[in-house]
Amino acid sequence: MNVSGFYGGNYYTTINQEPIVSFTNQSLGSICLVPPISVKTAMSDETGSIALRQLSVHEIVRILQQAGGIFASDNLSYGDTNQSPDDYCQYYAMATGNPIQIARNMLDRTYSFLSNIETYLEQDSPSNVIDTYDTNVFETQRSLSMRWLPMANNLGVVLSDSLPYLNFFWLLALAMKYAIVLRPGWNDPMTPFRLILSLLKAGIPASALNLLMCGYDGIDSMADRQSEKVIMFGGQRLVDKYCKAKNVKLFGPGHSKIYLDVNDYTVDDDLINFIFETVVVNAGKGCVNTSMVLVNRNGYDLAERLAYKLMEVQPLDPRDPASKLSALKSNELLAGIQLEIDKLLTQGAMNVTANLGCKDFIAKLGPVSILMPIVLFVSGYQECFDVELPFPFVVVAEVNRDDAIRYFKGSLALTLLTEDNHLIAHALSNPTIRKLFVGMHSPAVVDFSEPHEGLLGTYLYTEESLRW
């Protein structure tokens, strides 16, 4: 199935097209490529936001709720193609190499997310009342009137290929009456395209949605529009490039961690299973997946037990419903992963998985290469050990309290399995830790009524004074 562009309420095709290729090197179609000027034009167009702001927030909520059911259950047509939900799941697995269960979860989670969109809007409103998005006025607990105003008309969105759930961010922004300019990931343009088809069928104003595949020059054009807002998902290279752009909110590597105090928690099967799930869920590709486990003693023993558990995961074709691991689509990605692991080994890390007999982290299924889990062990603090890779990869570090605190810095999700009040107090007051879990609460369960690197509403809206 070819994925067209969508702009100004119309589908369109371009001469320049990028092929979409499966993990078996099979052609799945193509996506239209647009020049930077198209992105610039879309980011400056106010038509979509005007159309949305003529609707009440309750009307938009109803449309989004209906779209969730359409996305999850309906056959959707584009041109001469008719795509069922199962067709979408098969396409997703082939195009991304990710387990098909991720796509099936996307169907269910999109339905759930959009069914509950009113709740998430309430949490993202300063008054916990969604009508604030209509009136632009709310009252504080001290009965002071304040204005709640959008800071832009359009939200540019640069998606990565890591997981389809990232689309929930722009769906929430759409509910906040922002027109959307989407630049999808190279491997997964289908998820946002199916969402757009669902939203149009449900009745969203067509001018509020844009899908424009472009290169980095197009992303530059998006970020250059200083009067509009942009969110970007990607790796460290993207973060480094746009970190100084004031209108860009970046969602980069998570560096998510677990701290385990073996004096307070027994290292039994339940605990190993808990850590295992945080490492392997979603094929290890999420920013909240655990990439480092900090432990105050017996670190190598913990690393061995975790490695043994991860070695139980079988390499399966991503289209297999039981698959938990991703297929490799790029030799360049493989070379980058190998380089990072080699760097860690030269710095003193020990490859626990290799020591247990599994020396190759690529499993071959005919022509298909599956990325297998790896556990490394290190002792003490070195900044270079805090690495995140796009598969079930985890570093177990045996550390003292001071080194643990140094590792805490910059963690998107930090899970504390300890009763050490000093460590807990430090984590509570550390602003570089974005999501804190005390006890065995899975960081992979993302609740959009909670902040995820801040609340989206406070990025898109501003509070201003009012007297009347």
Residue-wise pLDDT tens for the chain (468 aa)?
Answer: 788 889 988 888 888 899 999 999 899 999 999 999 999 999 999 999 999 999 999 999 999 999 999 999 999 998 778 999 999 999 999 999 999 999 999 999 999 999 999 999 999 998 889 999 999 998 887 778 889 999 999 999 999 988 999 999 999 999 999 999 999 999 999 999 999 999 999 999 999 999 999 999 999 999 998 899 999 999 888 899 998 999 999 999 999 999 999 999 999 999 999 999 999 999 999 999 999 999 999 999 999 999 999 999 999 999 999 999 999 988 888 889 999 999 999 999 999 999 999 888 899 998 889 999 999 999 988 888 899 999 999 999 999 999 999 999 999 999 999 999 999 999 999 999 999 999 999 888 778 878 888 889 999 999 898 888
Element (H, E) at 438: strand 435-438
Enclosing H/E stretch for 110: helix 100-115
Q: DSSP H helical segments within 189-324, as ranges?
A: 190-202, 216-224, 236-242, 269-280, 299-310
Indicate where the chain has its CATH 3.40.309.10 domain(s).
256-433
CA distance 430 to 394: 23
Interior angle at CA 110, CA 185 and CA 51, nearest 5: 80
Question: Among the CATH numbers 3.30.1280.10, 3.40.50.720, 3.20.20.190, 3.40.605.10, which is that of 5-252+450-465?
Answer: 3.40.605.10
The angle formed by the CA atoms of residues 441, 92 and 373, to the nearest 5 degrees, is 50
* 23 touches 32 (CB < 8 A): no
H helical segments located in 138-281: 167-175, 190-202, 216-224, 236-242, 269-280
Coil vs helix vs strand at 87: helix
> Between vectors from CA 284 to CA 282 and to CA 287, what angle results, nearest 5°?
90
| Residue 226: both structure tokens together | 């200083």
What whole-number distance in Å separates Cα of residue 411 and Cα of residue 408? 6
Cβ pair 444, 450 in contact under 8 A = no
Nearest partner of 385 among 415, 423, 346, 443, judged by Cα: 346
Residues in the chain: 468
Cβ-contact 277, 293 below 8 angstroms: no
Q: What is the pTM of this model?
A: 0.93
Radius of gyration of the chain (CA): 23
Q: 24, exposed or middle or buried, with CB in 10 Å at 0-12, 13-18, 19+?
A: middle
Could you tell me which of 246, 228, 275 has the C-alpha nearest to residue 437?
275
CA angle 114, 164, 125 (to 5 degrees): 40
Q: How far apart are CA 56 and CA 63, in angstroms?
A: 11
Residue 213 is predicted with a pLDDT of 94
CA distance 183 to 177: 19
Q: What percent of the residues of the chain are helix, what percent strand, and what percent coil, each to the nearest 5?
A: 40, 20, 35
Kind and range of the H or E element at 138? Answer: strand 137-139
CA terminus-to-terminus distance, the chain: 56
Token pair 């969602």 is found at: 251
User: According to CATH, where is 3.40.605.10 located in the chain?
Assistant: 5-252+450-465
CA–CA distance, 52 with 154 (Å, rounded to integer): 11
Superfamily of domain 256-433 in CATH is Aldehyde Dehydrogenase; Chain A, domain 2 (3.40.309.10)
